[in-house]
């Protein structure tokens, strides 16, 4: 009888632990996504960046078209790479916003590797 009671208790603990683990993982993932969304929104609020997103370990940045020819991409890439571990990207790609607006062609202007 004691074995049966113990096994029932152990089974309930496994289920409770599984539920707690699953809830923690879901909350962690949602929090990370929310954090990334806030980071991207803060980048878009600057006058230098028109749009940005993170895809497949790459931070894709579309500079403001009227400023893209005068940007210091090395300096901006270095600053953006300061957050690469937190937001999980390895490279920053600067895309040609002017070309995309006029022809819908995507062209890479500069690339900055965050891992040295």
- The reply to whether 61 falls in a domain is yes
Q: Of the candidates 93, 75, 85, which has an alpha carbon nearest to the alpha carbon of residue 36?
A: 85
Task: Output the pLDDT for position 26.
Answer: 44
24: pLDDT strictly greater than 50: no
Name the pLDDT band for 11 (thresholds 50, 70, 90): low
Q: Which domain holds residue 100?
A: 34-113
58 belongs to a structural domain: yes
- Helical H segments across the chain, by residue range: 2-44, 73-81, 84-87, 97-103
Answer yes or no: pTM beyond 0.95. Answer: no
In a domain, 100, yes or no: yes
Number of domains into which the chain is organized: 1
Instruction: Assign 5 a pLDDT band (cuts: 50, 70, 90).
Output: low
Q: Which pLDDT score, from 0 to 100, does residue 79 have?
A: 95
């Amino acid at each position: 009888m004691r074995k049966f009671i113990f096994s029932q208790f152990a089974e309930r603990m496994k289920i409770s632990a599984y539920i707690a683990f699953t809830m923690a993982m879901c909350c962690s993932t949602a929090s990370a996504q929310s954090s990334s969304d806030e980071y991207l929104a803060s980048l878009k609020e600057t006058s230098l960046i028109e749009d940005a997103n993170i895809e497949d370990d790459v931070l894709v940045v579309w500079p403001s078209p009227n400023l893209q020819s005068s940007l210091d991409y090395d300096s901006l890439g270095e600053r953006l790479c300061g957050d690469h571990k937190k937001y999980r990207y390895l490279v920053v790609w600067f895309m040609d916003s002017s070309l995309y607006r006029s022809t819908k062609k995507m062209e890479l202007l500069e690339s900055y590797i965050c891992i040295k």
